[in-house]
Structure 1
Amino acid sequence: MQLYTNRTIKPLPQFVADLEQRAQQHDFIIHNKGAMDMARSFALHNVPVREDFDIHMLQFCKPAKAAQVMSANPERAALMPKFVIAFSQDNHTQVRFLHYDAQTVAQLLGDDRFSAIIAGASAEIIATIEESL
């Protein structure tokens, strides 16, 4: 498992908009578009947060590919969710992405083909992030 970290001087809303646009260019959808703003999501459940709380969790997905991969082996589903986290800190938009390397996936599932798929998807998400910075 690895944690990708980066930051940009773009304000959070601009980075999120740019990331969404780049994601579409890479054939990803933002699966949780209506719920990615965590302050709004918590408010819907009557959970108060600080006024400056601005964490966004963007779930990346390629539905056709995900359906194919999970249909071939349902055990893969636990490793499928891909979240890019963005938040404001130190006058920058901070970006985080937790992802699995091919070796970890192979150890967990014993599935070399899926290991390559996960590694490729993670690399593509990182490239999408970097294009958006």
Structure 2
Amino acid sequence: MCTFNAANIFSATTDKSIGEFIADFERAAKPKGFMVHNADKMNMAETFAAHGASVPEGFDLHLVQVCNPQRASKAMGMNPERAALIPKFITVFTKEGTTQVRMLRYGIDFAYELIGDEDFSRKLSGSFEDLTALIEEAL
């Protein structure tokens, strides 16, 4: 389980390209039941451009939505209030020639304060631990 009580941002760096990191993450995630939900829309430069918004030259940020359909369907089916905390995004961007990886994680106490569901808070924390391990494997 997460060893922090509030929320924090997981941060990592890799020399892999964004595409290589995401491909390696997907390979690691699949056997654990996780999938990338938005593969065709994660490139934010393309998404912004499609909506008429401009970005600086060289802007390279991917917002990777990760889902474990089996876990998510059970959790939301039991209580739709949980849905606000279930989407998990991994932010991947380039900075100074390296690929940066970030993920907002919720600790047990933080999730409990928001939803008031101890069992769900523990499972959510476990999901963040699983995702952190998968990110580290893909680095």
* Band the TM-score falls in, shorter-chain normalisation: over 0.9
Question: Which one of the candidate residues 52, 57, 65 is aligned to 2:58?
Answer: 52
- 2:42 is aligned with 1:36: yes
**Distance (Å, rounded) in 2 between the aligned partners of 1:94 and 1:69:** 30
For 2:93 and 2:31, the matched residues in 1 are separated by: 23
Query: What letter matches 1:10 in structure 2?
Result: K
TM-score (normalizing by structure 1): 0.95
TM superposition shift of 1:12: 1.6
Q: CA RMSD in A?
A: 1.0
Which of residues 10, 16, 21 in structure 1 aligns to 2:16?
A: 10
Identity of aligned residues (%): 41
What pairs up with 1:37-116 in 2 under 5 angstroms?
37-116=43-122
Ranges in structure 1 where 5+ consecutive residues have no aligned partner: none
- Regions of 4+ moved over 2 Å: none
Q: Deviations over 1:9-44 (max 9, x none)?
A: 112221121112212122111111110010111111
Contact 2:36 2:64 in 1 (8 A): yes
- 1:124 corresponds, among 123, 127, 130, to 130
SS state of the match for residue 56, structure 2? coil
Report deviation, 1:90.
1.6
Whole-Å Cα distance in 1 between the matches of residues 60 and 97 of structure 2? 13
SS in 2 for 1:78: helix
The alignment covers a number of residue pairs equal to 133
Unaligned runs of 5+ in 2: 1-6
